[in-house]
Amino acid sequence: MNAGTELYQTWHTDRAAENAMGDSHTPMWRHFISLVPEIDLSTLAVLDFGCNQGGFLRLLYALRPFRYGAGVDIAQESIDVARERSRDLPIEFAATTSLERWYGRIDRAFSYEVIYLLPDLEAHAREIKRTLRPGGIYYAVTGCHTASPLWPAWRTLIAANSNAPVQDYAPEDYAAAFAAAGFDISFKRFGYDDFVPAGKDKAYYPRLTDAFDYPNRDKLLFRCALPSGAN
């Protein structure tokens, strides 16, 4: 969601699939949260970049309550659902391609399987930097990269189901974009090793073990940290 990125009614071309994403992602979101070392978020403002229907922020608030939350997405109908489902929570949602209203307001930012869609990683890194307070951290998860053995097939499959154009990045591209913006970059394997459904879509997971190897081995968690004197 940078300059030049469009707004859509839904990210997925199939509205039923859009509505189903939250349930399918919840176990991965729970694991994502478990990997974040900050346990007490009660005094912090957080941002979910590419929040879809707001499920990650609601889960994060249930597990580690925060002071304020913001969720942004390019899918306008999904933002409407997020607002309806989060009425009693301290979370603000917006369908937007800009983070300007949150410049200097966010302590921790998150994204889950979103950055691979961005047409300009460097612009995104600069925008996140403007959004974070000094010492802020951005945690970004993606397994959609050229080092994944599944990616050559996935690139075509995702492009057929997404209203947003799919990009073609290597892990090094993600790290370089944030390093150029002044972040200290580290990363780890996502390492999801719980049970996974054996009936995963064979178009995406041709072998049974692919459904486990992707979140365990291929999916990466980037930690992009600003120095305390940044901004």
Which residues of the chain are modeled with pLDDT < 70? 1-5, 7-22, 230-231
**pLDDT value of position 1:** 44
Per the structure, the count of domains in the chain is 1
| Residue 4 domain flag | no
Which domain CATH number covers 212?
3.40.50.150
| Residue 8 domain flag | no
**pLDDT value of position 143:** 98
Of the candidates 33, 107, 111, 121, the residue with the CA atom closest to the CA atom of residue 72? 111
Write down the pTM of the prediction. 0.92
Write out the H or E segment, with its range, that includes residue 110.
Answer: strand 106-112
| Residue 1 domain flag | no
* Tens digits of residue pLDDT in 63-112: 999 999 999 998 889 999 999 999 999 999 999 989 999 999 999 999 99
| Residue 215 domain flag | yes
The answer to whether residues 85 and 77 touch, using CB atoms and an 8 Å cutoff, is no
**pLDDT value of position 2:** 45
**pLDDT value of position 23:** 81
Q: Which domain holds residue 156?
A: 15-225
| Residue 132 domain flag | yes
Q: What is the rounded distance in angstroms from the CA atom of residue 8 to the CA atom of residue 80? A: 12
| Residue 9 domain flag | no
| Residue 199 domain flag | yes
| Residue 78 domain flag | yes
Cβ-based neighbour number of residue 66 at 10 Å: 21
